[in-house]
């Protein structure tokens, strides 16, 4: 009926215990082009409606057995028939009767005796309203579905970009470590420990993702330091030390143009800064150092001291933790140190054994 309301079509169930009234109303509606389905009681009407839902119901109030109010309440209680508009048509004229009809779920009320034109006008209005409501509902459902499809596609492609980004970072990390076997695995273990610390600090998962990636390439700038300096046993000369110390700025420079969703460049630039300003390259102090960089700094010191280096044997985890304890609050972020010490001392944290030889 949806597209043919204007020329008067639509299926209407008429409920009245008076056969004469039924006949008159049916005649009016059929003449106007509607399909009229008469029912002599509320019970008969409910069965007829359950068998085939009409577009509208014209409902008498006073009937033996189930009255109009109750019939309407039944229709409104059932999800399958809830949306069918019900117009009450009754000889009751008190305001209270009309209010009761609306409370029962009716959309309109026509008083008997009625004018044929009035009944038709109200029927057409409510069919039209119902039609528009259905159109709106299907448009909303359609748009919602489109939106869901778009969101799914976006989420999928975002996940794909994240994976590619992580794989690229991993490839960069391998590149650096290929040249420098002594720090092989260093970045991965620093990333792992930094993530464990960040989790203990309760940082949000997205920020932790950034810390993992930053940790994995924090020594990227060592690519510019000659391999023989990095892997040569013994003390470095002043110039050699300067070259090694330039690695945080070089690493940041390499990534300056990359628009990471995290402050990866500053994590790399600041991972040798110390709270008291004694670090490099800028001598930043306290909160001027990014939290991510303060976390990577502690993980870096612990891992570096616990592991073997070209210029010395591994000092071991106890010496590393001593350094953190001694520097907490002066060189290193006190909260980060507290969490890091707790990880090793009471929670049995171990640096990755496979890689830490």
Nearer to Fe ion, 35 or 282 (CB): 282
CB of 355 to Fe ion, least distance (A): 17
The answer to whether residue 219 forms part of the interface with Fe ion (CB under 5 A) is: yes
Instruction: Pick the stretch among 147-155, 214-222, 238-246, 285-293 that binds Fe ion (CB under 5 A).
Output: 214-222
Helix pair 95-103, 68-77: axis angle to 10 deg: 20
The answer to whether residue 16 forms part of the interface with Fe ion (CB under 5 A) is: no
Nearer to Fe ion, 55 or 180 (CB): 180
Structural contact between residues 194 and 296, judged by C-beta atoms closer than 8 angstroms: yes
CB of 290 to Fe ion, least distance (A): 15
Nearer to Fe ion, 219 or 303 (CB): 219
Instruction: Pick the stretch among 149-157, 192-200, 216-224, 339-347 that binds Fe ion (CB under 5 A).
Output: 216-224
Instruction: Pick the stretch among 82-90, 157-165, 213-221, 301-309 that binds Fe ion (CB under 5 A).
Output: 213-221
Instruction: Pick the stretch among 21-29, 44-52, 217-225, 226-234 that binds Fe ion (CB under 5 A).
Output: 217-225
Nearer to Fe ion, 219 or 273 (CB): 219
Nearer to Fe ion, 14 or 331 (CB): 331
The answer to whether residue 177 forms part of the interface with Fe ion (CB under 5 A) is: no
Task: Lay out the site mask for Fe ion across 264-303 (x = CB under 5 A, - = otherwise).
Answer: ----------------------------------------
CB of 327 to Fe ion, least distance (A): 16
Question: Which residue's Cβ has the minimum distance to Fe ion?
Answer: 219
CB of 219 to Fe ion, least distance (A): 5
Nearer to Fe ion, 43 or 266 (CB): 266
The rounded distance, in Å, linking the Cα atoms of 180 and 11 is 83
Nearer to Fe ion, 161 or 311 (CB): 311
CB of 142 to Fe ion, least distance (A): 55
CB of 186 to Fe ion, least distance (A): 9
Structural contact between residues 72 and 49, judged by C-beta atoms closer than 8 angstroms: no
* SS3 per residue for the chain: CCCCCCCCCCEEEEECCCHHHHHHHHHHHHHCCCEEEEECCHHHHHHHHHHCCCCEEEECCCCCCCCHHHHHHHHHHCCCCCCCCEEEEECCCCHHHHHHHHHCCCCEEEECCCCHHHHHHHHHHHHHHHHHHHHHHHHHHHHHHHHHHHHHHHHHHHHHHHHHHHHHHHHHHHHHHHHCHHHCCHHHHHHHHHHHHHHHCCCCHHHHHHHHHHHHCCCHHHHHCCHHHHHCCCCCCHHHHHHHHCHHHHHHHHHCCCCCCCCHHHHHHHCCCCCECCCCCCCCEHHHCCHHHHHHHHHHHHHHHHCCECCECCCCHHHHHHHHHHHECCCECHHHHHHHHHHHHCCCCCCCCCCCC
Instruction: Pick the stretch among 126-134, 199-207, 212-220, 253-261 that binds Fe ion (CB under 5 A).
Output: 212-220
Nearer to Fe ion, 67 or 219 (CB): 219
Q: Which residues bind Fe ion (CB under 5 A)?
A: 219
């Amino acid at each position: 009926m949806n597209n043919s309301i204007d020329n008067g079509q639509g299926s209407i169930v008429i409920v009245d215990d008076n056969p004469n009234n039924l006949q008159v109303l049916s005649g009016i509606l059929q003449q106007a082009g509607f399909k009229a389905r008469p029912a002599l009681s509320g019970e008969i009407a409910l069965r007829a409606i359950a068998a085939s839902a009409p577009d509208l119901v014209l409902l008498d109030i006073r009937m033996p057995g189930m009255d109009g109010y109750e019939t309407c309440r039944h229709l409104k209680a059932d999800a399958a028939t809830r949306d069918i508009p019900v117009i009450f048509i009754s000889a009751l004229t008190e305001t209270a009767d009309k209010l009761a009809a609306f409370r029962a779920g009716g959309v309109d009320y026509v008083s008997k005796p009625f004018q044929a034109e009035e009944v038709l006008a109200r029927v057409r209005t409510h069919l039209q309203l119902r039609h528009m409501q259905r159109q709106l509902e299907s448009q909303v459902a359609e748009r919602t579905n489109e939106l869901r499809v778009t969101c799914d596609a976006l989420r999928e492609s975002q996940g794909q970009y994240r994976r590619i980004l992580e794989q690229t970072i991993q490839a960069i990390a391998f590149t650096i470590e290929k040249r420098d076997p002594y720090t092989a695995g260093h970045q991965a273990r620093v990333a792992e420990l930094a993530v464990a610390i960040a989790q203990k600090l309760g940082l949000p998962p997205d920020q932790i993702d950034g810390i993992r990636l930053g940790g994995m390439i924090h020594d990227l700038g060592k690519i510019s330091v000659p391999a023989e300096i990095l892997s040569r046993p013994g003390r470095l000369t002043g110039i050699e030390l300067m070259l090694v110390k330039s690695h945080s700025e070089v690493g940041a420079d390499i990534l300056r143009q990359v628009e990471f969703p995290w402050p990866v460049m500053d994590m790399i630039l600041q991972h040798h800064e110390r709270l008291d300003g004694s670090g490099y390259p800028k001598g930043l102090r306290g909160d001027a150092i990014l939290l991510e960089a303060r976390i990577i700094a502690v993980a870096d010191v612990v891992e570096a001291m616990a592991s073997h280096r070209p210029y010395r044997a591994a000092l071991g985890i106890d010496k590393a933790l001593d350094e953190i304890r001694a520097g907490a609050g002066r060189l290193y972020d006190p909260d980060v140190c507290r969490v890091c010490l707790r990880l090793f001392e009471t929670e049995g944290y171990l640096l990755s054994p496979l890689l830490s030889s």
